[in-house]
Structure 1
């Protein structure tokens, strides 16, 4: 059973998500937070498997907050459940370390699908989003498809590489050894079908929007 922390400043959202997950034997809610201070305290206290969070709430600085959370709590998988436009923020969230993005206009079925995929180690992006980018970004379809197949750890390594981090820094941040970082870099080059680190970083930045 995956332990979940919910962070949102809207009482209706907190109650709604809680009620939805109480009916599911795969998840257990271990805490709730309605501002950034509560969020960090409860992350430190509970170290949840999954964090469901709104990226726009008191004392939370959007994408920067997500990066900070992933840096301090790398083992916690983050699902962004937000009012922000999906086509603008979804891939930026994934790029910054989130394991999935679900807009609050989505159905409960989509939210559960996202949680189940994240719980199994996958990455969740709505198929409708893929269609949007296919129509708006001709030629990026295959790149987006490859990006979506990366594991959460591979995305974390890619995120750190794109910020100019060295193997040693990445190893310390993710609590792994440098040899493992090198292995992830080799996998990333192969999966994203690029020949060198510069091209790898360039491709990762294709998915920053807004």
Structure 2
């Protein structure tokens, strides 16, 4: 299985390769540390699986997955991140990822996730599946009301980004950002942007 790692943390890349060296079924052929090089690198190396950090520099986050799907519909993608699993896992899968795993997980589970994805299966941790199935989890219920794009806008708002910056990051019009903000206010039942940002933190969307 040929793997391309798209991650800007050298320690993570080297650590993963080192810990997986005894598993001969995996071959780490290339690495990318900037989203500007991602599409060209995939086209050149033809990996079986892409390990993608959701916060890769010059990336639009989860939105990058949609772009990858338009270029490489059959590419298998495992998203890795330090972000809260219960939020980004759902968003990543909705955007086209085959699986999601937190960087805090064991190497054994990373191997399990890669093998599952290579077989054409999807992968989420057992804890994640349990949380999604828990109908009493208020945070998950709130999150399920939001679209992938709304999550992206909310995440950028929580980081203090202005409408113009959000529009540029997501390649949308400023007026569209305002529309998403209005929808978020309504869906999360708050009256102003300050409360909206507070909600995003309660939902653990903020990094």
TM-score, with length taken from structure 2: 0.64
Q: Shift of residue 136 of structure 1?
A: 4.3
Q: How many equivalent pairs are there?
A: 140
How large is the Cα RMSD of the aligned pairs?
A: 1.8
Task: Find out whether 1:130 has 2:126 as its counterpart.
Answer: no
Where does residue 150 of structure 1 map in the other structure? none
Q: State the partner residue of 1:26.
A: 25
After TM superposition, where is structure 1 displaced by more than 6 Å over at least 4 residues in a row? none
Query: What is the deviation of 1:35?
Result: 0.8
Question: Counterparts of 1:5 and 1:79 in 2: how far apart (Å)?
Answer: 10
Q: Does 1:9 align with 2:11?
A: no
Q: Separation in 1 of the partners of 2:55 and 2:67?
A: 14
What is residue 153 of structure 2 aligned with on the other side? none
What SS is found at the alignment partner of 1:22? Answer: coil
Paired residues of 1:47 and 1:73 also in contact (CA < 8 A): no
Identify the residue that residue 84 of structure 2 maps to in structure 1: 85
* Larger deviation, residues 80-89 vs 17-26: 17-26
Cα pair 1:21 1:27 within 8 Å, conserved: yes
Counterpart for residue 98 of structure 2:
99
In structure 1, the residue matched to 2:141 is none
**What residue ranges of structure 1 are gaps of 5+ in the alignment?**
139-158, 160-208
Instruction: Give 5+ residue unaligned stretches, structure 2.
Output: 138-147, 149-202
Is the 1:49–1:75 Cα contact (8 Å) retained in structure 2?
no
SS state of the match for residue 51, structure 1? strand
In the TM superposition, what whole-angstrom CA distance separates every residue of 1:127-176 from its partner, at most 9, and x where no partner exists? Answer: 101222233457xxxxxxxxxxxxxxxxxxxx9xxxxxxxxxxxxxxxxx
Question: Within 1, Cα distance between the matches of 2:52 and 2:121?
Answer: 18
Separation in 2 of the partners of 1:137 and 1:90? 18
Cα distance, 1:81 vs. partner?
0.9
Aligned residue in 2 for 1:41: 40
